[in-house]
Chains A and B, each alone.
Chain A
Amino acid sequence: MTNIGSYEERVRNFDWSLSENELKHTEGEIINIGWYCSDRICEMGKGNRIALYHEGFGEIERKYTFNDIRLASNTIGEYLRALGINHEERVCLFMDRIPELYLSFLGVLKIGAVVQPLFSAFGDESLHVRLDDAKTRAIITQRKHLSKVRKIIDKLPSLEFIIIVDHNRAKELREKEVAFNLQEATPVEEMEIYPTKAESPSVLHYTSGTTGQPKGVRHVHYSLISQYLTTKWVLDLQEDDIYWCTADPGWVTGTSYGIIGPWSMGITQCVLDSGFSAEAWYRFIEKYKITVWYSAPTAIRSLMKAGEEIVKRFDLSSLRHLASVGEPLNAEAVIWSEKVFHKPFLDTYWQTETGSIMITNFPGMKIKAGSMGKSFPGITGVVLDSKTFEPITEPGKVGLIAFKPGWPAMMRTYWNNDEKYREKFANGWYMAGDRAYLDAEGYYWFIGRDDDVINTGGHLVSPFEVESALLEHEAVGESAVVAKPDELNMEVVKAYITLKPGYKVNDDLELDIMNFIRKRLSPLAMPQEIEYMDSLPKTRSGKIMRRILHAREWGEDIGDVSTLEDD
């Protein structure tokens, strides 16, 4: 029996008050995600239930009950308060998937501050841009990432506290650095939770666009209402489930469905903090008897590549429900999982800006392999004509995915960039930036992005960001960055560059440029291929025509070249 039951009935009778009632939230009253994910679960008598099974490198296991996470988040929250962190100030989490990351997330929210998780593989430049934009006041990190923070600290006058959770006492702390060891801290039993309300800012996630710098997506505590219900109806989490979300909390999936969704339901979850290996993943599922697994197409394709023989070595019979997120799930992967795990991965579609699942396949619903599924109850989704911005009624006609604004987890703005936020709306609709069509049964079918953003391994990379970073390399004259098709990651970053006078193509240069970008930005942004050109295609006004290079990569028609600069 699924939590959602009949999809059609849910759609007919839907109101968000259903979720509010289950969470016993009344309009105008206090709502704090940190409290909901820990204290409330303890008050419901589930304090001794395991909240988190954590396995780190070397198969070192740690486990935490809901009472443990309540105490730990109180302790972290009070520590931040004692430092002088005030409500709505930004606290960045820059850690690997260690328990302190998850516990700090709740602790920051409990004092009413804004939590800003950042992917720990970000290089110093990526880190600087995001911390500077948010005027972040504190960063919680590990010693292995300290060098990146130290490189940029002089350029971040707002950053007052660098909190190191695993400080090596043999090393000296520098100015602004403080050591905080959770295991050694005295647990705080009672804490005054900051009285955040529905519209109080909660989480700040940065996302990349085609042009300009990454944008800070501002969410509020009320997002819990849709995150809770989508977790319940789409991920179908039930009382005795053991859940594994493979996403890193540096990205929105890792917070909405790696922390908020499952813990607000009081569900036990597992976290594996290690690199990808098919063997390690299957062993993890077997060991913890994972029942619900939320992963990503790139990981699924990597598992497919590892083959079926390895699956047979493990007992994965605990798995009862699988879902996928980040990029379109190809039909082949759905069919493969039905064969190998005896159930399909269900594709789910949503974005950093939407905060929760918008279009999805549901447990119990007919699955069309390769389809995104249907709108979540309460979400009015359409495809719009790209010229008129009116809903398309003809099945099969491609348009722009759009939603009627107002669902609980909808972003409230881009940080410091209300103008860019307003550009996300047209004719009263929120524009997702993707193209799709609806079939006659109301299923969505993904076509592609409506812009140049690269989706690699489920993560968005801005070509502008990579191009700008390439121009900082001493050898690079001009740069253009496009998506290149990739069997595993769907797309990878490819750079076209010209060299400055005096530089020649040689064996070391390509590697040097790759590593330069990897360390400055991130491994995701690193060009997987670099192609040298004498000149890049430009319009007569000097604008680089990225779309021509994109068309080359994808074997598409290059279109109108009347504005192309003559050679």
Chain B
Amino acid sequence: MLVNFLSAAIIAGTPLLLATLGELITEKAGNLNLGVEGMMLIGAIAGFAFGYQFNSPYLAILASAVAGSLSALIYGFLTITLRANQVVSGLSLTIFGTGISSFIGTNYVGKKMTNSVINFFKPIEIPIFSKIPILGKVLFHQDIYIYFSYFLAIALGIYLYKTRKGLNLSSIGENPSAADAAGVNVNLYKYVHILIGGALCGLGGAYLSIVEVPTWQENITAGRGWIAIALVIFSKWNPYKSIYGAYLFGGLSIIGFRIQYLNISQNLLNMLPYIVTIVVLAISSINKSKEGSPPKSLSIPYFREER
């Protein structure tokens, strides 16, 4: 019972984790992209359409990542090259993503992902590790998409804290002029990381449409993109912390189905993750410590000419 619940929490938390990592790396570059929901939807429909049409899990994943980063490119061009307001650009991207996913998805509504793709993402037991009591079953009896997300979270942590490029990235988020003076190509870094961020958000959306659900339905993300933005704050811009944040919220979002016997209305239980997001956000904004504060240049456009 508990193992089943925790295992399902990991599954429900995976789209959140991927999107949170995507937004985290974007914000590290000093850009607040509120288009996460839109990028997830674009990734979700691209993944579903390619998986469904070509019957290929590889193409599905590739398409979702590419589509996610292409949509992030719109945001990047607007905010980096054209120095547009980041909040409004991100919101527009969400509106765009909602529109385009529902447009392309019209013909797929209610269609189920092909069996061979579904089978490709069947849970696989990892030898030895899966024998750990409770946690083994929860963490190491999952599909490869989830293993890939563990890898990404850890790799991103190592990249940010242990590599030269990762440290450069953080310095851009903190003080772009100083980074520029030190010879870091600020705009290139911003573009690259915004695109990677978009790819991760796209992958997060596609997990929903090709593995978790896996039937196309309009607006399949249902606000998860926004929860991911909140999770970045919750995890204090730390990829390792975002792992448990994402699974905590994954658990919250499925708790309703697990306690149905208590006869509480499903609609009321559906509110839970959103209420908890607000509460958690409020609490993390009360506890402001230095290490938990956002990158200093977040959402401020960088103008080289104005130095």
Partners in one complex: no
Binding site for A on B (CB under 8 A): none
Binding site for B on A (CB under 8 A): none
